[in-house]
Structure 1
Amino acid sequence: MSQRPNAEVVERIEDIQGDDDLRCGYKRMGAQLELQGYQINPKKVYRLMKQGGLLLKRFRSERGPYVTHRCARPDKPLTLLEMDIKMFWVEEYRRYAYVLTIIDTFTRVGLHWSVGYSMKWTAVRSAWEAVIEDHLQPADMLAKGFDIEVRSDNGPQFLATRLREFFAENHLCQVYTHPYTPQENGHVESFHAIIGLALRHDTFWTLEQLEIRLTIFYEKYNNSRVHSAVAMLPPSLFWDIWKEGKVTARKNKRGKLIFKLTVPRYLINSPLKLEAGLRSKGHKKEKQLPQSAPQANAGKQQNPTPAVC
């Protein structure tokens, strides 16, 4: 295994911390580095981040008793889906734009999103038509006999009679959260906290600018951002690993599923590893001096080995 200098590791950490969509604490940073091909101890990640002033400030909030009932507890993908709406200010018409997000609570994957200056029941129906076509039908959920629950709050667009009829026609069980109980729709509420934090420094002058920024965020959230609830993997990668049977699950005392990988992260074929490899090659080419003669070993392929830090 090849030894990598600390300066290179710190440079990778700085790249991640410089991206509002990927910024994280030292635990998720360790998982992020492992997915890029590094084999590194969490304590060393913490030390390097502390020395470089890269640790995040801890946000502490007062919490009441934990909810013991009515919380989502799915045991497989696509069986419990949550949707909600978040608002972002747009300067163009000095008004809020509405962003609808639909997530799978088991994998945390953002299945679909849409944005507009209004979010009526027809827009919600169009979003669910896309989810059915892109996810539920390919998974053949109806033929397998799985019950699919759809959770939402009591917004007027979700209470529309014709939308409820649409869900019934497509064998989707729509349920509503009780008033003043956001924990019953906690996964998408948590997602909104993440997106709000990532976009807090952005100013959107037009709806098109907001849509472009959201496209970037959702792509990174699904495919690049490590999520602590799904074995410290990006949601889409976790879904793929789950299908391959490389994840085990157990329930804690509160009934929450705790996932554990059966293979080390640095051995997972992740798109993040490919991206890190390309960046590393480009970095080496910039430092490499021109050579007068070809190397003797040019053209020979070597087996890739994880970097040990």
Structure 2
Amino acid sequence: MGKRAKPEEIIAKLREVEVRLSRGETITHAVRAIGVTEQTFYRWRKEYGGLRVGQAKRMTEIEKENARLRRAVSDLTLDNQILQEVVRGKLLSPSRKRVAVDHVVDELDVSVRRACRVIGQHRSTQRREKTPRHHEGELTAAIISLAERFGRYGYRRITALLREAGWSVSTGRVYRIWRREGLKVPQKQPKRGRLWLNDGSCVRLRPAHKGHVWSYDFVQDRTQDGKVFRMLCVIDEFTRECLAIRVERRLNSRDVLDALGELFLEYGPPDHIRSDNRPEFIATALREWLEALDVRTLYIEPGSPWENGYCESFNSKLRDELLTREIFYDLREAQVLIENWRLFYNTARPHSSLGYKPPAPRTILPATFMPPYRLEAA
């Protein structure tokens, strides 16, 4: 008896059949290529047709959540009241947790033991008196002064300068003050050199036509509440067009496969696809799926991001022109604003490598189309 396929694997196989059918293959040949019978294929399509990987995962998460709620129904009411009294946001430091525990004990008249268990604070830490460190204010002022003087230095170099000045301080303490004060090294714009053919260089396959070479990479940012979200950016290296930016809290190899499946149906599979060596891109299931569709993978050398220069250049523009200027209050707002910027980038933003013309000019679209992301008046 064969191994039972997971919902994510079934959805991936259904995507592969759809791509094969769009390329002119018969249903019999396409089904035989994924290794199942036609009866199994039609049963899968009836049960999982139209679903995405994220929806299948969400169904599994809902089942697990229902089981957890049934086990914890006796303590749910009180725990929810405690959590509602806590200020919004993550309580990562012991000092913030200490204040939250005291507030819950005063407002709800619960025991310190119960409040510490729900909030995640150890009782010995809660009972310990807070003692401020010596010369905290002077050290903070010295760090800010050095950061203003040496704008390109990070907290490690600042620590070395402090030690030379006579401070006996650890790197971790400087890092905590660095984060607390919101210090950050400005984004660097290095010059790009050419690809030489001597020792230590690389030879990169250059795109020759539309659909010849695609590249994709991840970009990470945070919403206003501090939660991380990831972006999967896919571009066509020849036209410089951004084909998609998928924005989710978490993205794994199955999500990458699902996004590529949608793009293959819309644009057709490329000849090559370039990426770095992230675990999401070198997953066995993804590589086998691309190989089955005759899409060759181009993996860059570790520690050599310039080999994926087209995508790295796009990522820097995305961060410089949008991510560092906008505050995203939730994930949905981030998805809408990033998609609007993608349309603006493709249809209206001048691109220096294309003679200051956009990758997908507005003239090739319907006359009634106007990109939702507009330039601000000077």
TM-score (norm 1): 0.53
Deviation at 1:155, TM superposition (A): 0.7
Of the three residues 66, 89, 100, the one matched with 2:232 is: 100
Greater share of residues in helix: 2
Query: Structure 1: which 4+ aligned runs deviate by more than 2 Å?
Result: 59-72, 237-240, 269-272
Larger strand share, 1 or 2: 1
8 A contact 2:214–2:273 mirrored in 1: yes
Cα shift at 1:231: 2.6
Question: Match for residue 204 of structure 2?
Answer: 71
Is the Cα contact below 8 Å between 1:72 and 1:184 reproduced in 2? no
Summarize deviations over 1:174-197 as a string: whole Å, max 9, x none: 121101111111111100111101
Name the CA shift for 1:108/1:62 in 2 (closer, same or farther; >3 Å): closer
Among residues 341, 346, 360, which one is paired with 1:236 in the alignment? 360
2:286 is matched with which residue: 146, 152, 163? 163
Distance 2:285 2:189 in 1: 40
Q: CA RMSD in A?
A: 2.7
Query: Kindly, what percent of the aligned residue pairs are identical?
Result: 24
Q: Structure 1: any 5+ residue segments left out of the alignment?
A: 1-58, 142-147, 241-268, 276-309
Whole-Å Cα distance in 2 between the matches of residues 170 and 80 of structure 1? Answer: 15
Which of 301, 307, 315 is the aligned partner of 1:178?
301
In structure 1, what is the equivalent of residue 337 of structure 2?
A: 213
CA distance in 2, matches of 1:112, 1:222: 11
* Contact map agreement 2:348 2:362 (CA 8 A) in 1: no
Equivalent residue for 2:134?
none
Q: Is 1:82 matched with 2:215? A: yes
Pairwise CA distance, 1:62: 5.3
Q: Residue 127 of structure 1 corresponds to which residue in structure 2?
A: 259
SS of alignment partner, residue 315 of structure 2: helix
Q: CA deviation at 1:117?
A: 1.0
How far apart are 1:152 and its partner, in Å? Answer: 0.5
Q: Structure 2 counterpart of 1:150, which letter?
A: I
**1:1-309 → structure 2 map (5 Å cutoff):** 63=191, 65-68=193-196, 69-92=202-225, 94-136=226-268, 148-199=271-322, 200-237=324-361
Residue segments in structure 2 that go unaligned for 5+ positions in a row:
1-186, 197-201, 371-378
The residue type equivalent to 1:169 in the other structure is A
Distance of 1:102 and 1:239 partners within structure 2: 23
> Does the Cα contact within 8 Å between 2:219 and 2:230 map onto a contact in 1?
yes
Q: In 1, Cα distance between the equivalents of 2:272 and 2:266?
A: 17
SS at match of 1:159: coil
Distance 1:210 1:239, change over 3 A: same
- Measured after TM superposition, the shift of residue 131 of structure 1 is 1.2
Alpha-carbon offset, residue 237 of structure 1: 2.4
| Paired residue secondary structure (1:131) | helix
State how far apart, in whole Å, the 1-side matches of 2:293 and 2:278 are: 21
Question: How many matched pairs?
Answer: 178
Higher relative contact order (CA 8 A, sep 6+): 1
SS of the equivalent of 2:296 reads: strand
Max Rg structure: 2
Q: Go from structure 1 to structure 2 and tell me whether the alpha carbon gap of 1:149 and 1:189 turns closer, same or farther (over 3 Å shift).
A: same
Read off the aligned partner of 1:163 and give its amino acid letter.
Answer: L
- CA 72–228 in structure 1, closer or farther in 2 if over 3 Å, else same: farther
CA separation in 1, counterparts of 2:317 and 2:340?
A: 14
Alpha carbons of structure 1 residues 239 and 173: separation in structure 2 relative to 1, 3 Å: farther
Give the Cα separation in 1 of the matches to 2:273 and 2:235: 10
**1:78 aligned counterpart, secondary structure:** coil
